[in-house]
């Protein structure tokens, strides 16, 4: 059998004849776990955790009423970020792609969200409304899809033209859209929209997808992210709110978002699909890390940068083992 | 949680910026601590390293 072994395998198979020392891995592991656990518990008691005030629809509607109103109109018009997101929420777009590969399409629609109905119409219908909003809901539900789209997109365009200034919007054929958006704004100001959006499922409410997506369509969440230095373009992936340290180990993932072409969302194909391109780059780099033992040159780096010789210096000194030089 | 540490930690962080590189002081401290622990792991000798416990 030994006939088939390479010289290295023969060398590796020889019994160890060097120095021996006793080593208790269970003892060392136990000490490490206890020390780390004590550190975690004491630091938790000392520092606690980030205590950022919750973002609510009430807070949004009260602090930036016009933006909330305009976002509600976008949901009705189907022009919001959620309505045009694509999978896994809807078929609003093809989603991100790398060349011919449309990754979002692979997953399909697994969490269907109809922005107009889920974010505006259903919450309004589930609450007691003023006669004006009731009439608007009836008009909306009895209208054809084309009529609804025309009203909402015309009004959405008018708001965009007025740069979000509601008082500057000229009169027009907007149907029930202004009344619906106003009804939702009043509902949000009263604090009832938060609960209405959450109570769309079972007994225990743990799925906040709809609230987060609705928040993401307006300026409220975006502004809060900017204020807390959490935007992707400012290394936000690494940060935490307040003075707490964040995810420093995500520096490399975050790095790509700071350099062109990933910084320009308008540039095609890479900037517009930055998330997926960066995911592919990081995937390739992670694969490279896993494959270090088989990559020529990289796998022999410890011979060129012998940090292990520093750690085990007494062994190398006592055994008189010199660095191999080529 | 209340107290001065909580108040201190929940204030907006200080960020160091140089061109497109930006880092919070908190993250910088954590990174420096990690590097320090790494350096200590290399330079501090193992306990009982020269006590002659090893045997041939």
Q: Comparing A256 with A8, which gets the higher pLDDT?
A: A256
Tell me whether residue B31 is in a domain. yes
Q: Decide if pLDDT at B8 tops 80.
A: yes
ipTM: 0.84
Nearest beta carbon to residue B9 from set A19, A20, A243: A243
Contact A234 B27 (CB under 8 A): no
Query: B33 — contact with chain A (CB < 8 Å)?
Result: no
**Whether A242 and B12 lie within 8 Å, measured CB to CB:** yes
- Mutation target among B2, B13, B23 for the A interface, most CBs of A within 10 A: B13
How do residues B9-54 score in pLDDT, each as one tens digit? 999 999 999 999 999 999 999 999 999 999 998 888 877 655 444 4
Residue A123 above 60 pLDDT? yes
**pLDDT tens-digit series, residues A293-308:** 999 999 999 888 998 8
Contact (CB<8Å) B30/A259:
no
The 10s digit of each residue's pLDDT in A256-314 is 999 999 999 999 899 999 999 999 999 999 999 999 999 999 999 988 899 888 888 88
What is the pTM for the complete model shown? Answer: 0.83
Q: How far apart are CA A101 and CA A106, in angstroms?
A: 9
DSSP assignments along A199-238, one per residue? -SSSSS----HHHHHHHHHSHHHHHHHHHTT--GGGTGGG
- Pick from A93, A84, A102: which is nearest to A213 by CA? A84
pLDDT at A2: 52
Q: Which residue of B has its CA nearest to A259?
A: B20
A208-215 average pLDDT score: 93
* pLDDT over 60 at A326, yes or no: no
Interface of A to B at Cβ within 8 Å reads 18-22, 46-52, 227-229, 234-235, 238-246, 248, 258-259, 307, 310-311, 314
Taking CA atoms, what residue in A is nearest to B31?
A: A248
Range of the domain at B38: 8-43
DSSP conformation class of B55: B
- Residue among B13, B41, B55 whose CB faces A242 most closely: B13
Are B6 and A243 within 8 A, CB to CB? Answer: no
A156-165 tens-digit pLDDT? 999 999 998 9
* Structural domains counted in chain B: 1
pLDDT(B55) > 60: no
Q: What is the pLDDT of residue B56?
A: 44
- Whether A162 and A168 have beta carbons less than 8 Å apart is answered as yes
Instruction: Tell me, yes or no, whether B54 lies in a domain.
Output: no
What separation in angstroms does the CA of A59 have from each of A56, A164, A192, A215?
A: 5, 19, 12, 11
Per-domain boundaries in chain A: 2-48+291-319, 57-201+208-227
B55 within a domain of the structure (yes/no): no
- Residue A294's pLDDT is 95
Percent of chain A whose pLDDT exceeds 90: 75
Residue B18 forms part of a structural domain: yes
On the question of pLDDT at A3 being above 70, the answer is no
């Amino acid at each position: 059998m030994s006939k088939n072994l390479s010289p290295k395998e023969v060398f590796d198979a020889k019994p160890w004849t060097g120095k021996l020392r006793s080593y208790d891995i269970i003892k060392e592991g136990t000490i490490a776990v206890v020390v780390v656990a004590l550190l975690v518990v004491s630091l938790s008691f000392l520092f606690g955790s980030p205590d950022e005030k919750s973002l609510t629809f009430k807070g949004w509607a009260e602090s930036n009423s016009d933006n909330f109103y305009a976002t509600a109109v976008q949901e009705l018009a189907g022009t919001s970020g959620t309505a045009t997101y694509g999978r896994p929420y809807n078929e609003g777009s093809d989603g991100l792609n790398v060349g011919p590969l449309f990754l979002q399409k692979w997953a399909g629609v697994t969490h269907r969200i109809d922005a107009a109905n889920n974010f505006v119409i259903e919450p309004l219908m589930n609450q007691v409304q003023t006669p004006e909003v009731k009439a608007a809901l009836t008009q909306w539900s009895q209208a054809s899809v084309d009529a609804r789209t025309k009203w909402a997109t015309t009004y959405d365009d008018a708001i965009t033209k007025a740069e979000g200034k509601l008082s500057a919007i000229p009169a027009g054929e907007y149907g029930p859209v202004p009344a619906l958006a106003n009804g939702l704004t009043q509902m949000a100001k009263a604090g009832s929209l938060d609960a209405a959006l959450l109570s769309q499922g079972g007994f225990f409410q743990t799925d906040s997808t709809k609230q987060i997506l609705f928040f993401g369509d307006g300026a409220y969440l975006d502004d809060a992210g900017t204020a807390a230095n959490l935007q992707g373009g400012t290394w936000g992936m690494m940060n935490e709110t307040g003075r707490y340290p964040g995810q420093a180990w995500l520096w490399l993932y975050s790095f790509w978002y700071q350099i062109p072409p990933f910084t320009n969302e308008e540039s095609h194909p890479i900037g517009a699909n930055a998330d997926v391109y960066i995911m592919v780059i990081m995937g390739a780099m992670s694969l490279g890390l896993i494959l270090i033992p088989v990559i020529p040159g990289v796998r022999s780096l410890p011979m060129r940068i012998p940090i292990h010789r520093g750690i085990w210096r007494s062994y190398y000194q006592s055994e008189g083992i010199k660095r191999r030089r080529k | 949680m209340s107290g001065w540490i909580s108040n201190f930690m929940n204030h907006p962080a200080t960020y160091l910026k140089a061109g497109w590189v930006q880092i919070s002081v908190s993250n910088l401290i954590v990174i420096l601590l990690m590097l320090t622990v790494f350096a200590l792991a290399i330079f501090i000798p193992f306990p009982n390293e020269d006590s002659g416990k090893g045997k041939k």
